[in-house]
Structure formats: structure tokens, C-alpha cells
Amino acid sequence: MTTLYWYCLGGGFAVSLLLVLAGEALEAVVDALDAVDAFDPLSGVAGVTVFGGAGLLLDAYADLAPVPEVAAAAAVAVLAAVVLHVAYVRPMKQSENSTGFSVREYAGKTGELTTGVPAGGFGEVVVRMGASTTFQTAASFSGDAIASGTAVVVVEVGRDGVLLVAPLDRTDTETSPEQRALPPRLQTR
């Protein structure tokens, strides 16, 4: 059994090293093997490596018959693979999702001026987009000055990406679902 454990331990380290060194080249192969979301090749390689290491430790320090020894090593390997998948692989896959958005999506969003907009000039508005808080260049939709700290709504997006904003009335923000979703420092109440 010791030979099997050494092959699993060495093979697991070799495949892990190969994945680290040539990860980009092997990404298509790994993705093809990842047909089921519950199984990930990285978790499987880690499980095989842990099986080899646990088997060697049990063989050396536990006085077990071969069948219980293999069963215990397999249980430790499965547990390690599941923990790795749940604690590392799945969160990393979810973090690969793009948080990008188009500047055109700002129209209709509410925010707060961090830098006031002078008449005919530019200021800065903070707007919450999804999980992001962004700071964008703003101009007054009507051309009038708007003071810093004023709650505004993005009326439209100019050709150059400048957000054209208008002040919000306090009554408008009491019923606005977007305003309720803003962090407390952006609310106007």
C-alpha cells in the first residue's frame, strides 16, 4: 500500500505543479473536465494528494489493517477535497463574474454630488451601480448651479460620457427604490 500512497502523493504534487506552471495552456482541458459544478479537477488533484499523504501517515503511525487504513485515508481525502472546493474553488469561480457596466446604464440612477456643479460647468457625482460605488463627472441638465451634497438623479448621459443630473426633491427620494438601496451616507433624509 505504501507504493500506492507514494504514487498518489507524488502524482498529485506533479499535476499541481503542472497546473501552476502551465495553467493557462491547460485551462481548456480543465474546463472540459469540469462538466459538473460539484466536481472540480483542482479539488480532485488535491484529494488524491491528500489521500497519498494521509495514507503514508496512517501506514507509519497507526496500527491499522490495510482496508481500514485505505478507508480512513480516503475519508480524509474526500473531506479535504470538499473543504477546498467549498472554501476556495467555488468562491473564486464566482468572483470571476464581470462587474462591468455601460455608461448608458447611469440614466435614471440617483446619487449625490461630491463636488458642486457651477452654472455651465462640471462637478462630480457618486452613483451606486450594482455592488460598486462610482465617481463620475457631472453637469447640470438645466445648466443651473447645483450645490455639493445635493441628491441628484441622472437624467441622461452626454455624448462625452458626462452625466447630466438634476436635483431631487425630498419627496422624490421617499418613494424611490434606488434611493432606498443607497448606502446611508448617500441618502438625503
- Encode 57-110 in three state secondary structure: HHHHHCCCCHHHHHHHHHHHHHHHHHHHHHHHHHHHHHHCCCCCCCHHHHCCCE
Determine the pLDDT at residue 189: 44
Q: What is the CATH number of the domain that holds 121?
A: 2.40.50.140
**Number of helical (H) and strand (E) elements in the chain, helices listed first:** 7, 5
Q: For residue range 75-98, list pLDDT tens digits in order.
A: 999 999 999 888 887 787 766 555
Q: For residue range 37-57, list pLDDT tens digits in order.
A: 556 777 888 999 999 999 999
Range in 27-31, 118-122, 174-178 the model is least confident about: 174-178
Residues 83 and 131 in one domain: no
Integer Cα distance of 132 and 32 in angstroms = 32
Strand 132-140 relative to strand 163-167, pairing: parallel
State the average pLDDT over residues 124-147. Answer: 90
Residues 89 and 114 in one domain: no
* Residue 189 lies inside a defined structural domain of this protein: no
Q: Between 11 and 189, whose confidence is greater?
A: 11
Residues 27 and 86 in one domain: yes
pTM, rounded to two decimals: 0.49
Q: Which residue, 75, 95, 115, sits at the end of a domain?
A: 95
Q: How far is CA 133 from CA 38, 61, 99, 103, 136, in A?
A: 33, 55, 11, 13, 10
State the average pLDDT over residues 166-182. Answer: 62
